[in-house]
Each structure stands twice: as C-alpha cells, then as structure tokens.
Amino acid sequence: MRIRTAALFVALTSALVPAASAAGAAAPPALSADNPFAAPSTLPYGLPPFDRIKDGDFMPAYQAGMAQQLAEVAAIVANPDPPTFENTALALESSGRLLDRVEKAFVNLNASNGDEAMRKLETELAPLLAAHHDAIGLDLKLFARLDRLYGERAHLPLDAESLQLLVRQHKEMVLAGAQLPEAAKVRLRAYNSEISTLMAQFRQRLLKASADGAVVVDSAAELDGLSPAELSAAADAASARGLKGKWLLVLVNTTTQPLLAELRNRAVRERLYRASVSRGVGGSDDTTVIVARLVKLRAERAHLLGYPNHAASVLDDETAGTPAAADAMLRQIAPAARAGAEREAATIQKLIDSQAAGGHAGARLQPWDWDFYSEQVRKAHYDFDEAEIRPYFELNRVLQDGVFYAAHELYGLNFKERTDLPVYGPDVRVFEVSDANGKPVGLFIADYFARENKQGGAWMDNYLDQSHYFAQLPVIVNNLNVPKPPPGEPVLLSFDDVTGMFHEFGHAMHGMLSDVNYESLSGTRTPRDFVEYPSQYNEMWAREPAVLAHYARHYKTGEPMPASLLHKILAAQNFNQGYSYTERLAAAAIDLALHEVSPAQAPAAKDLPAFEQAALHKAGLDLRTVPPRYHASYFRHIFGDEYSAGYYAYTWSGVLARDTGDWLHRHGGMTRENGEILRARILSRGRTQEPSELFRAFYGREPDVGPLLDYYGLSLPVQAKGHDHH
C-alpha cells in the first residue's frame, strides 16, 4: 500500500471517493476492457503496453483503481471472522493492484515523457489520491483489526518477513493518524489534501519558472567556450521556441549550471547564475508563497499527529530516527567541508589575481566564477580538461563495458538488449537481465537523453516491483538528462555524467536484485536515508581503476585511455570536493531548518531568504562563494517530491556508502564473493529488516564518517588516519 501525502479539501473528491471510510465504499465502476490498465500487461515481465497507452486512459483507470481498492478494504473490514494475518494484513497487501498499475505508469511517464494534459491531470489527481489514501490510512475499523494482530504478534506463527509486513502496516497507519479522534482526522484530511495540491502546483510552477528563466543570447560570440554540440543544442532550444537566430541556455535543477564551467564571457555567466537563483521568486512563476504555505501546513499537521515539528514526524520512520541525529552527522562533516571549500576558494582567487592585467588584483571571486576558474585549476594541477577526456566516455561503451560490466563482475548479471518490446520514445532502450545461471531477473529501461517534456535531473523508478507473492519480477527505469548531439555525432559524456550513470544503476541494482515476498517491503522501498546508499557505493566503480580501464576507450579508435590520463582523472577526483560537499550540506541544512519549525515559527514568503541565511550561519555553511545546491524557491526534492526533511539522506547514505567501499577494499575489492555478500545482506533484502540492523550486520559496527572524509580528501589534519583511500 503506497501512502502519499497530498492536498485541497475532501469535498473536492466526492465524485471519485464516495465515502471518507473505506468500509463505506461504493462498488467499483466498470473499466472498459480496452483500457490498457484494465488487466495486467501480457508483455514479457508485465512491461506496460506503452504503444497502447493514451492520455485519456489514465483518469478512468485511476477512478476504477481507487474505487476497487476501497471495495477491497471494505471487504476486509466487513469480514465477520476474527482478524488473521491472511484475512487482514495479507488482504491489505493484496489490495489496490489496478491503482498500482496505473499510478506507476502515470508517475513515470509524466516525469519522463509528459505533456500538458498529463500535467493538468497530475494537479487534479493530487487531492483525490490524498483523500483516497486517507480513507484507508485513517479507517478506524481497519486499524482495529491490524492493532489486534499487532498486539498478538509475539504469539502468531509468522516468518520474519510476514511479521515485518504486519509491523510496517501498523506503524504506517499510526504515522498516518489512524489513532486520532474523528475531529482531528477531519483536520488531517484537509491538511493532506491541501499539501498534496500545493506540491503538485509547486512542480508545475517550477517547471514553468525553469523554462521561463532560460537565458536568451543574441550572438554566438557571447558563448565562447561552449563546444559545437552545446552551441547546436542552444540554437535548437531557441529555435524550438521560435527564437530564430538566437541561442537559449536552458536551466537545470541545481543552483550551479553546468555551462558556467565553460562560458568565457563573465557577464553571460552572471546572467545565467542569477537566472538560476531567481527562479520562482516573484512574478507569475512565483513559488515562494507555495513554499511558505507548505512549511506552515506541514508543521501544523505534525503538531496534530503529536510531533514537535515536521522533521520529527518524518525521521521517526527513517534510519536516522530523529532530527537531532541527522543534524549531528551533518555537524561532523560540515567543518571539514567548509575548510576544504575555503582552501579551494583561496586557490581560485590566486588564479584570478594572476590573470589580471598589469599585475593588479583581479576581480573578486563570485559564485558564477567558481566553476569556470576551478576548471582551469583542475587543468593546471592535473593537466587535463573535460574536452580531453570526453572522447573516451562514449555513452554506449560506458553502459556496456562499465556499468553492466561491473554488475556482471560483482553479481554475475548478464544484459541482453530487447528491440521487440514497445517503448515510449525513440531513444528509450530495454535490456533483459538474467542471473549467472540464466535465470531471468527483470527488465532494465535506459532513458538517458534530455527532452523538453522531461523533468530535470537523474532518477530511478519502478514500473513493477519484485514480489514472490505476486509472482512478479522487477521492471526498472534509469533516467538521465544527457544533451542529445546532432544526428551522426557520438554521445560523449563528462565524468560527472559517467558517475551519474553508475549512481542511478546502483538504485537499479537495489530494485533488480530484490528477493522478497511482499511488494511493500521490496527493493528500494526503504527509508530515504538508506535508499541512496546502494546508489552511492555503486559510484565507486566508475573510478575503480580496473573498471575505468575497461570502459574508457576512444570512441573513434577503440584505444584505451592512456595510463597517464587515467591517473590524472583518478588523482583529480578529490578536486573541488569542499565545494561539492558544502553546497549539498547547505541544502540539507535549509531543508531541516524549514521543517524543524513550529507553526508559529514558520517563515512568511518574504522572509525566506533571511531564514535560509540564518540556517546556513547556524550550520557554519554560510560561504559567500558557495551557494546551497538548492534555494527554497526551486528545491523540488522537498516541495515537489517526497524528500521534505529528507535531503540530509544523501549525506547519511554517503557515509554508509563510503564505509561499504572501505569494507570492500579491505576484503579484496571487486570480487564475486563480495558481490554475493552485498547481494545477500543488503541488495536483496528491501525492508524485510530495519535498515540500521541490516547495515550493522553487514559492516559489523555503527556508521563512521572517517572513510567518507578520507575518500573525498576532506579529512582535517587533526583527525586520525588509517582508512583506505580508494
């Protein structure tokens, strides 16, 4: 059962959700047999029939799916027999199959291949789904049955995974507010409805703000430094908007824009940076009013549920456990990150000063200068630049001889491309994954190119989750946003892109290698501060010398990357990590601060910049030259997606990942034996056991920040050494 927070008042849902109680649900409306969601897909692995899905199919399937699940839950509640695991917990797990089919397809396609109709539908659906999940999550009679089973759990003849399913279902209903008095539940439903609608509105507003914020450039001369492929992409983007003879610099999700590293024109760099940080602030694309309202509503909802703040309510079900624990880990890393960033800033300022005419001091380092000059520092110190290494990182070779190769060496997996299956776009590829013994594992979908109708960033998701109970193998998708070059040109990646491919494939392995009975406990359905852990340790293989040598070959000649250049790339990996970690920690500090407020402390829209600055100052991360990775006005993770009070998860998971890298190198590195241990103890387990317990059982002790600081070259001189530097 997927529980999502959501938005508007329950009255809006009367057309679709006939009662606020699952027990009072009406009979499901009939869904036309020709609707592609009416029955499970008959394609291999249950792959959605992308060639048959139309925009008009979604709403009828959602309507039927919600009504069907309410009827299924009503039958559980109406059962006159005493509650058993089978007639209550297992029946609840089995409910909502139609809704799950349509929801997975819609969420994925809307993110990667959406259109105006889907975006409109997303906003319409938000309050309806909120009311639907509340109708189940707040059903007192359903909770009474689960609560009785939960109270008897010590005496029930359940295997460990079945017991975990029962415990999780009970806790999710408690966290959802099932124990609240009825009057409080009415308020809670209203909160959930409005929050969900506002999140959908934030996503839509941000999409528009990012599009409207793109920088129009009148002459190619102003774009000196960009590659021919980048110039072509900018010209195509402008042409697509009817801006003939101009160039358009499209904004990506983060504060710092990738093109800042290459643009020689400082004024254009400043324009691009200011366009990025001003997204969503004022005008028709303003998101700050939505942000302020969400912060206040989340705080009020947390109080209603008995928590001091929203962060406490979220972290109650995370690996960290409490905001204090998350704050404490960030505080352990922040001084080292800041010190690294300050060292890097001093080096860059020296370079700027040395380039000033007549020996006079040059311009003062600004945020829009950092990437441009740090790239020069990288070249000076390590004697290479991105243009020199890109020819060795052709996308398909990285995928086949890097990403897939590492998975084969570690886990024995094999990948066969399937061109006979329907896809939703010409650049989408599908691979059948099998085990070393030839046993099918699942399908992997690779969607790597940027499109106008695709959300920014990189992500993994499931079209189907693994589940023995449902006899279901996983169908997993990885998304990147690599600019597509002109026809006939090779797809050459930056090393950051390469690392991103390995990262997202780590998520894919977490979902693909799942080996559990129940879908609710499958694969990546773990806490957010654990779900980023397998993806982050999978990044290590991108820079592992044996793997890097295997895939880093010139796209024209096939010649391996020269050993000297390979060595420079590896030596340069700790470069700029002070900046990188400071910007991420700063975003996490803003997120936690916004969600640790009481309702009375929630900032107004106009006060958000000052609130952010105060949070950064308190965390020791208020560096003028290192902006946070996201400001609140375009912080999609926490205001458009489900990562509120959870952005710290990337750092928490990073600690676990680097501890794992340290363990792997102490035990022989990339071997099938180590891969099998990871698979057996982490990747196959989903949430069949609490993740903190899984990690301790694997690592042998509590997480340690030392390997992370060493890995990124951030260890402070006063800290003891002794960790492996791989």
Annotated domain spans of the chain: 10-206, 214-277, 390-574
71-78 mean pLDDT: 98
* Element at 417 (helix H, strand E): strand 414-418
Predicted confidence at residue 28, as pLDDT, reads 53
- Site of tokens 């997202």: 504
Q: What is the CATH number of domain 10-206?
A: 1.10.1370.40
C-alpha span between 595 and 598 (Å, rounded) = 8
Which member of 72, 386, 409, 504 is catalytic? Answer: 504
Predicted confidence at residue 686, as pLDDT, reads 97
Token readout for 245 is 């003879």
pLDDT tens, residue by residue, 602-636: 999 999 999 999 999 999 999 999 999 999 999 99
10-206 shares its CATH topology with 390-574: yes
pLDDT tens, residue by residue, 295-327: 999 999 999 999 999 999 999 999 999 999 999
Q: Does residue 551 contact residue 514 with C-beta atoms inside 8 Å?
A: no
Predicted confidence at residue 684, as pLDDT, reads 98
- For 152, half-sphere exposure in the C-beta direction (CA atoms, 13 angstrom radius) is 13
8-state DSSP, 400:
I
Token readout for 726 is 């791989």
- Site of tokens 């886990």: 411
Token readout for 291 is 């942000």
pLDDT tens, residue by residue, 281-293: 999 999 999 999 9
C-alpha span between 349 and 339 (Å, rounded) = 15
Token readout for 639 is 């205001």
What value, to the nearest 5°, has the Cα angle with vertex 405 and ends 444 and 577?
Answer: 95
pLDDT tens, residue by residue, 227-255: 998 999 999 999 999 999 999 999 998 99
C-alpha span between 553 and 566 (Å, rounded) = 11
Residues linked to residue 447 through DSSP beta bridges, in sequence order? 479
* Element at 508 (helix H, strand E): helix 495-512
Predicted confidence at residue 105, as pLDDT, reads 98
The residues, any chain, with a CB within 8 Å of residue 564's CB and separated by 6 or more, are none
Q: Residue 357 is which amino acid?
A: A
Overall residue count recorded for the chain in this entry: 726
C-alpha span between 88 and 75 (Å, rounded) = 10
Predicted confidence at residue 721, as pLDDT, reads 35
Q: What is the CATH number of domain 390-574?
A: 1.10.1370.40
Q: Does residue 531 contact residue 510 with C-beta atoms inside 8 Å?
A: yes
C-alpha span between 439 and 411 (Å, rounded) = 13
- Site of tokens 């695991």: 85
Closest alpha carbon to 391 in 228, 555, 551, 550: 555
C-alpha span between 619 and 351 (Å, rounded) = 29
What pTM was estimated for this model as a whole?
0.85
Q: Does residue 251 contact residue 279 with C-beta atoms inside 8 Å?
A: yes
C-alpha span between 299 and 419 (Å, rounded) = 49
Question: Is 532 labeled as catalytic in the residue annotation?
Answer: no
Handedness of CA 341, 345, 351, 355 (dihedral sign): positive
- Residue 384 or 354, more confident: 354
Token readout for 536 is 């982050």
Q: Does residue 451 contact residue 425 with C-beta atoms inside 8 Å?
A: yes
Which three-class secondary structure string do you get for 623-646? Answer: CCCCCCCCCHHHCHHHHCCCCCCC
